[in-house]
């Protein structure tokens, strides 16, 4: 009797193996990698400098002082770039489909999505986290917060929830590109645009846009709602306090819809051999 066929590795094992493969590939050109990492760090630092320049001309923006804005900026940037580190392989799906290399991921006896998440992983994605956590630490130290156990818990809670929301959005990006193929630039409006919008107080954008960013594309749960509680700000929309802690519910719902969209996109994908 033939032995039972070995089970395919789990999603995490597949993801870590792909990350290791791509990291070793990036390390083959170390001088180039170092220069790209230095460049990425400088660009991220310039984005933070832009925030400081704005506050050099105003005392408050959207009701937030500089220290509070640094905390808000740091949580948004850290959440986004952690998600960028973990999930942004979806950004390259359009190019893979055009070149016909996406089919190579489909025929392997492992999960497709973990392979996509780790696609073209590179250590340079760590660079923007330096300025992100620098801003976050500066905000934590200087913001006038009356710290309690709940407020302290909301700091890592905000980062985890933000990563989850952005991660679901990256899955939507992948699903959309499987269907449309050449749509990476259009999707940047949602991904990098969402990063930019959550880095500043949502109260700057007006009530209607705030409602859309809270209940339409739930970017308000990346960091805005929990930050209102941490910093002691009232909600401009007048939402109940329970919404400050509703991020995981919206993130889970967004992931459910995103995975449904991903599975639907794969079913309708026409490979280069079809």
Write out pLDDT tens, residues 64-78.
999 999 999 999 999
- pLDDT reading at 24 higher than 70: yes
Q: Which two tokens stand for residue 184?
A: 């990476």
pLDDT over 90 for what percent of the chain?
41
Beta carbons within 8 Å of 104's beta carbon, 6+ residues apart: none
Report pLDDT digits (tens) over 85-131: 898 788 888 888 888 888 888 877 788 888 889 888 888 888 889 99
Q: What is the pLDDT of residue 229?
A: 95
How far apart are alpha carbons 254 and 251 in whole angstroms?
Answer: 5
- Between 177 and 246, where is the model more confident? 246
Least confident range from 34-38, 134-138, 237-241: namely 34-38
pLDDT band at 41 (very low <50, low <70, confident <90, very high): confident
Instruction: List, in sequence order, the alpha helices (H) in 56-183.
Output: 66-87, 93-99, 102-106, 112-118, 128-142, 149-180
Q: pLDDT at position 126, please?
A: 86
CA distance 222 to 230: 14
Confidence of residue 273 (pLDDT cuts 50, 70, 90): low
**CA 26, CA 37: separation in Å to the nearest integer?**
12
Contacts of 76 (CB under 8 A, 6+ apart): 162, 195, 198, 199, 222, 223
For residue 237, pLDDT beyond 80: yes
Contact 111, 194 (CB under 8 A): no
For the chain, the domains span: 11-267
Q: How confident is the model at residue 3 (pLDDT cuts 50, 70, 90)?
A: very low
Res 153 pLDDT > 90? yes
Distance CA 241, CA 257 (A): 26
Q: Would you state the pLDDT for residue 186? A: 66
Percentage of the chain modeled with pLDDT above 70? 93
Angstrom distance (rounded) from CA 140 to CA 168: 27
Rounded Cα distance, 253 and 96, in Å: 28
The angle, 0 to 180 degrees and rounded to 10, between the axes of the packed helices 66-87 and 224-231 is 150
């Amino acid at each position: 009797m033939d032995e039972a066929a070995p089970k395919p590795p789990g999603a995490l094992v597949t993801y870590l193996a792909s990350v290791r493969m791509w990291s070793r590939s990036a390390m083959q050109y170390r001088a180039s990698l170092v220069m790209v990492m230095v460049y990425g760090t400088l660009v991220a630092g310039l984005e933070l400098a832009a925030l400081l320049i704005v506050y050099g001309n105003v005392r408050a923006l959207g009701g937030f002082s500089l220290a509070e804005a640094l905390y808000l900026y740091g949580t948004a940037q850290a959440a986004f770039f952690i998600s960028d580190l973990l999930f942004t392989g979806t950004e390259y799906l359009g190019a893979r489909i055009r070149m016909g290399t996406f089919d190579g991921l489909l025929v392997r006896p492992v999960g497709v999505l973990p392979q996509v998440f780790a696609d073209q992983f590179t250590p340079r994605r760590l660079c923007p986290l330096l300025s992100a956590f620098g801003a976050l630490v500066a905000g934590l130290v200087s913001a006038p917060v009356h710290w309690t156990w709940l407020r302290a818990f909301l700091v890592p809670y905000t980062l985890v929830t933000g990563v989850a929301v952005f991660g679901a959005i990256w899955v939507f990006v992948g699903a959309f590109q499987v269907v449309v193929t050449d749509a990476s630039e259009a999707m940047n409006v949602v991904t990098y645009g969402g990063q930019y919008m959550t880095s500043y107080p949502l109260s700057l954008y007006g009530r209607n846009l705030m409602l859309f960013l809270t209940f339409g594309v739930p970017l308000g749960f990346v960091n805005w709602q929990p930050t209102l509680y941490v910093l002691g700000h009232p909600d401009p929309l007048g939402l109940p306090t329970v919404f400050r802690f509703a991020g995981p519910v919206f993130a889970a719902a967004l992931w459910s819809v995103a995975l449904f969209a991903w599975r639907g996109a794969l079913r309708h994908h026409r490979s280069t051999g079809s």
